[in-house]
Homo-oligomer: A and B are copies of this chain.
Amino acid sequence: MTRPKLLVTHPFDEAVALVPVPANAQEHGRESPRQFEGRPHAAYANMVGPFGGVTAAQALQAVLLHPERLGEPVALTINFTAALADAPFRVEAHPVRTNRSTQHWTVTLWQTDAEGVDSVMLTATAVTAVRRDTWSAVDAPMPDVAAPTEVARAPFTDRVAWVGRYDMRPVVGAIPQHWDGSEADSLTRLWLRDDPPRPLDYLSLTALADAFFPRIWRRRARMTPIGTVSMTVYFHASAAELAATGEGYLLGQARAQSFFNGYFDQSAELWNEAGHLLATTHQIVYYKE
C-alpha cells in the first residue's frame, strides 16, 4: 500500500506565486515590461519586513514568468531599498536587451501606501542565457565535512518565522550561544534545505543564498542591527542539476572579508551533496555599530 501524497501547497510556492497584472493594463510589444502582483508571506516573516531571500526570489520569479524570457538565470543582483510592508506589492520585469543567447533584465518592486503614493522597495538586474555544453570545472571544491544525517539540526530558537522554514545543520561557525562580545572568525559551514523539504529550483536557491545569519554576529558575538543592502547570486547550474539535487541538502559556506564603517561584505558558496557548486553569492550588509 503506497501512502497517498498530501496535496498541501509548500509555503515557498505560495510565496512566489505571483499574479500577472491583466494585459490591458500594460504596454505590450517586443521587449516590453510585464507587471505581477504579490505580497510577503507570513511563513517567511523576519524581524522587520519579510526574509530578504524570499523577496529576492519573488523578484527573480517576475523574470521567470515573463513570456519573452530567453534561457535560464546566470546572474541576479538585488538592491533592497527599504523593508517591505506586510501588504501587496507590484513587481515589473523588463527585458532591456535580448542578444542571440543572453538577455538582460531590470526589475523594480514597489508598494503603494494608503495615500496612493508608490515607493520603490527593491531594484534588481538579472542576466538569463541559453547555455551550451562547454569545458567546465569546479575550482572551489566542497569542504570535507560530516554528512547531513550525522550533524544535529540547530534548535529553532529564533523569534522570526523564516528561520523555521529552513533545516539548518551547522558544521563550523554556528550562531553564537553566548553574546559576550568575544571575537572569532566569520566562517560558517552548514547543511541546509527547505523545511518542509522541497525540490530545488532557481527560486529556492536564490532564497537559500540569503539564509546565512549575519557574519558580524559570528565575528563579534554581538547582536548589532543589520540589513542587507545589495546581494548578487551567480548560478553555476542548469535546471537539470537543480532537479537532480531534488530535496537534498546543500552545503553552504559563508565568510566576510571586510567590516568597514557601517558595511560588511559576505561571500558564500552553495554545493549540493554530490559536490556540484550550484551558486556563488555575495552581499554587502549595513551594520549599526
| Interface of A toward B, CB cutoff 8 Å | 74-75, 77, 79, 81-82, 96-97, 99, 102, 104, 106, 108, 119-120, 123-125, 127, 129, 131-140, 185-186, 219-220, 229-230, 232, 234, 236-238, 255-263, 265, 267, 269, 277, 280, 282, 284, 286-289
Can you name 6 A-B pairs with beta carbons within 8 Å?
A79-B125, A79-B127, A97-B120, A131-B260, A137-B219, A139-B257
When C-beta atoms are compared, the residue in chain B nearest to A216 turns out to be B135
The main secondary structure of chain A at its interface with chain B is strand
Residues in chain B near residue A265, CB distance under 8 A: 234, 236, 280
With A125-B125, A219-B137 known as contacts, the answer to whether A238 contacts B259 (CB < 8 A) is no
Kindly state the separation between the CA atoms of A220 and B139 in the bound complex, as whole angstroms. 12
Min CB–CB distance A281 → chain B (angstroms): 9
Q: Are A81 and B96 in contact (CB under 8 A)?
A: yes
Residues in chain B near residue A96, CB distance under 8 A: 81, 108, 120, 123
Kindly state the separation between the CA atoms of A96 and B74 in the bound complex, as whole angstroms. 25
Q: Give the 10 A-B residue pairs with the shortest CB-CB distance, closest first.
A: A140-B257, A236-B258, A81-B97, A131-B261, A236-B260, A75-B230, A77-B77, A81-B104, A137-B259, A96-B120
**Which one, B135, B237, B259, contacts A259 given CB within 8 A?**
B135
Residues in chain B near residue A230, CB distance under 8 A: 74-75, 77, 125, 127, 232
Q: Are B258 and A139 in contact (CB under 8 A)?
A: yes
Residues in chain B near residue A127, CB distance under 8 A: 79, 229-230, 284
Q: Are B284 and A282 in contact (CB under 8 A)?
A: no
Kindly state the separation between the CA atoms of A102 and B83 in the bound complex, as whole angstroms. 13
Q: Are B258 and A238 in contact (CB under 8 A)?
A: no
Q: Are A185 and B139 in contact (CB under 8 A)?
A: yes
Kindly state the separation between the CA atoms of A220 and B134 in the bound complex, as whole angstroms. 13
Kindly state the separation between the CA atoms of A104 and B124 in the bound complex, as whole angstroms. 11
**Which one, B229, B236, B263, B288, contacts A263 given CB within 8 A?**
B236
Q: Are B229 and A262 in contact (CB under 8 A)?
A: no
Kindly state the separation between the CA atoms of A97 and B286 in the bound complex, as whole angstroms. 16
